[in-house]
Structure 1
Amino acid sequence: MIAIHAPATVSPTTRTLLTCAAVAGPLWSVVSLTQAATREGFDLTRHPLSLLSTGSLGWLQIANFVLAGALSIAGAAGLRRALRGAPGGTWAPLLLRVTGIGMIAAGVFVMDPGDGFPAGTPAGSGTLSWHGLGHMAAGSITFIALIAACHVLGHHFYRAGHPGHALASHLAGAALLLGDAWAMSGGTAGSLTLAVGAITAMIWVSWVAARYRRRTV
């Protein structure tokens, strides 16, 4: 197997951009899970994290989506520089950029209240508004791009001679794919499996960015 490496050093600008990608996943995860644990009536086994965008404190999750998306877009530029000439060096950054755009759109198009959240909302799915439909479309684009990015990075690491990292990358993508599929099928605690999958994939991409920021190849 021929090891193919990204550039051994990165410029200060590239390092800054990679920092954005490294921060995006942990930031979104911490802000989302903190709200999930503290907001009245929210149950992660029944409610998707996107539902936190509703109610009087919904602006927190909206801002969380938009900021994490913007950081991902900036980070994609850094990843493109870091992986230039390496396998996956074109597609991984492109897919991360699409992920970021999708996250911003998911923040702009707010999910409809439902299933008892925010507190006082009737049980059940409720009606689907135009912005709720937009949120679903944005979420689908985000998940597809993020899953694909994980698998492209898996290919990158395999070609670079790091099979352990390649396996971890493929598993992160699979976690989101399975979590989303289970949630879409109406499976028990589907919102929880979706949250676990999404956070796993996002944290992995952030770890990859942090790895290249440290000039580890």
Structure 2
Amino acid sequence: MDRLLLHSGIAAALLFFIVPTILVFTRRGFDLERHAISMLSLGEGGWMMKAVFVVSGLLVIASAWGLHQELMRGLGGIVAPLLIGGYGVGLVLAGIYDAPEGLGFPPGVPEEQPPEMTAEAKLHSLAFMIAFGSLILSCFVVALHFWQVERLFWAAASLIAGCALPLLIGLGVSMTIAPGIAFYWAAMLGWLWIAAILAVLGPAA
């Protein structure tokens, strides 16, 4: 049962990689250089991205419980599952509250950013911060766990992921690179890390 729960997080990673990537190339008017992938939840067909957020979030929460059951004690068994569960909660909230419209998407809305964010858009931004904040912190907690059990490759990989995620987000926010592209690769890196660590963490970890 614990393994099944852990594998639910891997299923979430596959879901979030496959469906949004297809939508990026098939949704009319969507431009990854201008639009964050969370904007795929807007307009006609937006229900698909909303479903991805909610379902993947619930699967991640299930995997966090499985991780706790596998490791039980210490940072690996308590703090890491709480943080990964926080990532799942942020994803569910992002599916409930829509990203702000703007920059010509969905088709028919003005090309510029809205002058101020709606309450729903603010809640979506809060969900983003909860999700990525939890994910980034979990990278460092899991890195410490792997260090303590002398699995140095995975400790280093988790440390690198924990540093790369805020770097990518910062590059997008500062518009050093296109925000949509930066956020897309940050999301995919995060999912790759989650899938990898859930695949290797187990009773012997």
TM over 0.5: yes
Paired residues in the alignment total 204
Which of 125, 130, 137 lines up with 1:141 in the alignment? 130
Q: Which residue of 2 aligns with 1:61?
A: 49
Q: Which residue of 1 aligns with 2:172?
A: 183
Describe the SS at the equivalent of 1:46: coil
Q: Contact between 1:151 and 1:170, CA under 8 Å: does it hold in 2?
A: yes
Q: How far did residue 87 of structure 1 move?
A: 4.2
Describe the SS at the equivalent of 1:92: helix
* Structure with the largest fraction of helix: 2
Q: What CA RMSD, in Å, does the superposition of the two structures yield over aligned residues?
A: 1.5
Describe the SS at the equivalent of 2:76: coil
Which of 197, 204, 210 lines up with 2:186 in the alignment? 197
Q: How far did residue 105 of structure 1 move?
A: 0.4
Q: Which residue of 1 aligns with 2:159?
A: 170
Letter matched to residue 201 of structure 2: Y
Residue 132 in structure 1 maps to residue 121 in structure 2: yes
Q: Contact between 1:182 and 1:194, CA under 8 Å: does it hold in 2?
A: no
Which of 138, 143, 150 lines up with 2:139 in the alignment? 150
Farther-moved stretch of structure 1 (66-75 vs 157-166): 157-166
Share of identical aligned residues, percent?
34
Which of 116, 119, 131 lines up with 2:107 in the alignment? 119
CA–CA distance in 1 between the matches of 2:111 and 2:192?
A: 33
Q: How far did residue 60 of structure 1 move?
A: 0.4
Q: Deviations over 1:183-208 (max 9, x none)?
A: 22233312211211121112211221
TM-score for both structures, normalised by structure 1? 0.89
CA–CA distance in 1 between the matches of 2:132 and 2:150?
A: 27
Q: Contact between 1:87 and 1:159, CA under 8 Å: does it hold in 2?
A: no
5+ long unaligned stretches in structure 1: 1-12
